[in-house]
Amino acid sequence: MRVPLPSPDEAWELLNPGGTAPLLLVCDHASRLFPDHLGTLGVPEPDTFEHIAWDIGAAELTRGLSAALDAPAVLCRWSRLVVDCNRRLSDPSAFPEVSDRIPIPGNVSMSPEDREWRIRAIHEPYHAAIDRQLDAMLAQGATPSFVSVHSFTPLLGEIARPWHVGILWDQDDRLPRPVLDALRSVEGLHVGDNEPYSGRHPTDYTLHAHAAVRRLAYVGFEVRQDLLATEGGIHYWVGLLEKALRRALSLTGDG
């Protein structure tokens, strides 16, 4: 039996499109799901629950921030292993053949037709949905700020990552500086400045493709995944990041 291919409209989820906050949240790695016709790309099922397939806790954090700030949000509905929507398509890691030492057989054997389908049905419509929401907000007279929400594994290979949260940014410091100041004022919080990943060009594709090119204020959050493992953890980080963002938006004149 032929499995129907998902529609490009299924590539993304839009939350709270009429939110009043001058802010758009995005979550590139919100989901661990695979289109039915791809199976799990040959990855053992238990591994699809691990960080290689998605940013654990990031979707819940994004949903919480959307509600707390009354901000719209766009979330990707498919696993980053199918196509990583935070990568340029010319980057080999957009279709990883190995992730944290785990082989991804379905990406090794990917046909040109399969690659093209993933681009047309997932990568392109997800980013088009982000652009449409930004265009709608700009058309209403708002100049939105842009926030990308991610999470990171506490241990990558043999390397421990001690940060509780990382702030990712490049040249524009309108949001990152007040956010860093707000989070560093919290006793005991280990805050990374472009750690454990960098927001500098050409990394962090989504921030640059949508915010930097429009000269919008932007920032990326990376929260350590073990801190998002419970409802209480999600609630704590929603409150912490909400407070930091409200302060930053006020200082940039967008609040």
- The per-residue pLDDT for range 22-49, each reduced to its tens digit, is 999 999 999 999 999 999 999 999 999 9
Q: Is the pLDDT reported for residue 71 higher than 80?
A: yes
- Tens of pLDDT, residue by residue over 185-207, are 999 999 999 999 999 988 899 99
12-15/73-76 β-pairing = antiparallel
Euclidean distance between CA atoms 38 and 225, whole angstroms: 27
How high is the pLDDT of residue 149? 98
CA distance between the termini of the chain: 53
Q: Is the pLDDT reported for residue 1 higher than 70?
A: no
User: What average pLDDT does the chain have?
Assistant: 95
Residue type, 205: Y
Euclidean distance between CA atoms 174 and 247, whole angstroms: 11
How high is the pLDDT of residue 201? 87
How high is the pLDDT of residue 253? 63
The SS3 assignment for 63 reads helix
Query: Given pLDDT bands bounded at 50, 70 and 90, which one contains residue 5?
Result: confident
Euclidean distance between CA atoms 95 and 119, whole angstroms: 10
Q: Is the pLDDT reported for residue 252 higher than 90?
A: no
> How large is the average pLDDT for residues 219-240?
98
Residue 73 C-beta-side C-alpha neighbours within 13 Å: 26
> How large is the average pLDDT for residues 57-85?
98
Third-level CATH fold of 8-251: Aminopeptidase (3.40.630)
Structural domain spans, the chain? 8-251
Would you list the DSSP string of 122-166?
IIHHHHHHHHHHHHHHHHTT---EEEEEEEE-SEETTEE---SEE
